[in-house]
Amino acid sequence: MKFLKGGLDNLGAESGGFKEGKYGVALIKFPKVCKAEAVYTTNKMVAPPLKVTKAKIKNGVQAIVANSGNANCSTGERGIRDAEWMCAKAANELGVSEKNVIVASTGIIGKYVDKGILAQRIERVAKQMGGCADAARAIMTTDTKPKELCIDFGGFKIAGIAKGAGMIHPDMATMICLMATDATFKNGDLKKAVDESFNLMSVDNDMSTNDIAVLVSIGDKKPKGFLEALTTFCQEMAKLMVADGEGVTKVVKIEVRGAKTASDAKKAARAIADSYLVKCAVFGNNPNWGRVAAAAGYSGAALVEEKMKIWYDVAGKKTLLYDGFAKEFDKAALGREMQGVKEVGILVDLGLGKGCAKAWTGDLSYDYVKINAEYN
């Protein structure tokens, strides 16, 4: 596995983007009509762009248009027409068929899109396809940095761009992730990979209306282990999102093992990742294992208190905090060690079986409140 510079450019896709103020547009064009599949938000408030993409993706995909600054959500029939117009406009500018263009949007909910601004952006980007980095920047909202990634798995590549910093919660978070590969994939591969990556990350327990992950196949390679590679790719992208989460100062990697079942492991990992008390404790450099134990206890996973163990992993050093009962450790010293790191690991062994799972979250800081109090 090798990380390559850039993203979709490594697969021969044309891409570009432009953003001015709050409003950006990204375009991606593939060399031919390609097989594609997508995973969408499970929120019952579904934005029109996702409805349009759901209806069109079965036609095959040759281009994607995505905008930031306006989610085009809760906009009714006009929102559907505007999303369809975006596809038509992008198709015309890129010289492809409208039926093979899909759309994604992110930003403020409840406002109609400004077609004048979008038309100007789409025309500009189509004439100057400056590359994947520009596309990644164009879809940012509260993100502080663009997210592009390409991994060579030895014989085939997976690449993509993403946005996501807030309203990040399992069962699809506020995210757009647009991926391509020069390999083939099986129907359902993307959903399986999402369940082991994006659906195991959390920033703030809020789920958006516009979440979408798309996978496009531009090649015909048939490698072994593609699903495992796709899962790895999605996990790496998820880590980038959590690290750039709104107000996040530390990434928290949670690993649960020894669960009675794999399902129980996921329940416990997600509960710990979602816990505001765990997140606040990490922000305060406070190794409060009681918050972790409580989250595991209410997660719904099978649990025997006397068999559970909890460690904090700070700078590669694991400290056992609980082993059926509270362990003696230097809390002040461990807190000082937490101050100087960007990632903290929490390891929980339930001692009941072989089920295991990982999840990713961020701490909860003062800046998160400030960012979202002012977001409009």
* Rounded CA separation 313/317 (Å): 5
* Rounded CA separation 367/369 (Å): 5
164 and 308 in a common domain: no
Angle of helix 276-283 relative to helix 262-274, nearest 10 degrees, comes to 60
Question: In this predicted model, what pLDDT tens digit does every residue of 236-276 receive, in sequence order?
Answer: 998 888 877 676 889 899 999 999 999 999 999 989 988 98
Query: pLDDT averaged over the chain?
Result: 91
256 and 239 in a common domain: no
326 DSSP assignment: B
> What distance, in Å, lies between the first and last C-alpha atoms of the chain?
41
| CATH number of the domain bearing residue 209 | 3.60.70.12
The percentage of residues in the chain with a pLDDT greater than 70, rounded to a whole number, is: 93
Q: Identify the domain boundary among 222, 243, 264.
A: 243
| CATH number of the domain bearing residue 355 | 3.10.20.340
User: Where in the sequence numbering do the catalytic residues fall?
Assistant: 174
79 alpha carbon, distance to own chain's centre: 25
Q: In 3-state terms, what secondary structure has residue 82?
A: helix
For residue 233, pLDDT over 60 is answered with: yes
282 and 206 in a common domain: no
Percentages helix, strand, coil for the chain (3-state, rounded to 5) are: 35, 30, 30
Higher pLDDT, 317 or 368: 317
Burial of residue 176 (CB within 10 Å: 0-12, 13-18, 19+) is buried
Give me the half-sphere count of Cα atoms (radius 13 Å) on the Cβ side of residue 341: 21
* Rounded CA separation 14/28 (Å): 6
Q: How far is CA 185 from CA 34, 44, 151, in A?
A: 12, 28, 16
173 and 306 in a common domain: no
**Mean per-residue pLDDT, 75-91:** 97
Q: What is the pTM of this model?
A: 0.78
DSSP 153-203: -SS-EEEEEEE-SSS--SSS-S-EEEEEEEE---TTHHHHHHHTTGGGEES
Closest to 311 in 3D by CA, of 321, 298, 301: 321
217 and 70 in a common domain: yes
192 and 276 in a common domain: no
Question: In this predicted model, what pLDDT tens digit does every residue of 205-229 receive, in sequence order?
Answer: 555 567 889 999 999 999 999 999 9
Q: Identify the domain boundary among 224, 243, 262.
A: 243
Determine the pLDDT at residue 41. Answer: 84
Q: Identify the domain boundary among 200, 224, 243.
A: 243
- At position 160, the amino acid (one-letter code) is G
Q: Are 208 and 167 in contact (CB under 8 A)?
A: yes
* Rounded CA separation 79/56 (Å): 16
147 and 40 in a common domain: yes
State whether the Cα torsion 14-237-122-50 is positive or negative.
positive
Residue 213's domain spans which residues? 2-243
- Beta-strand ranges (E) seen in the chain are 2-3, 14-20, 23-40, 61-70, 101-108, 147-152, 157-163, 176-183, 201-202, 212-221, 251-259, 309-314, 317-323, 343-349, 355-362
For residue 315, pLDDT over 80 is answered with: yes
**Mean per-residue pLDDT, 304-321:** 96
Question: In this predicted model, what pLDDT tens digit does every residue of 22-59 receive, in sequence order?
Answer: 899 999 999 999 999 999 987 788 899 999 999 999 99
Number of domains making up the chain = 2
262 and 236 in a common domain: no
192 and 302 in a common domain: no
152 and 222 in a common domain: yes
263 and 195 in a common domain: no
* Rounded CA separation 311/339 (Å): 17
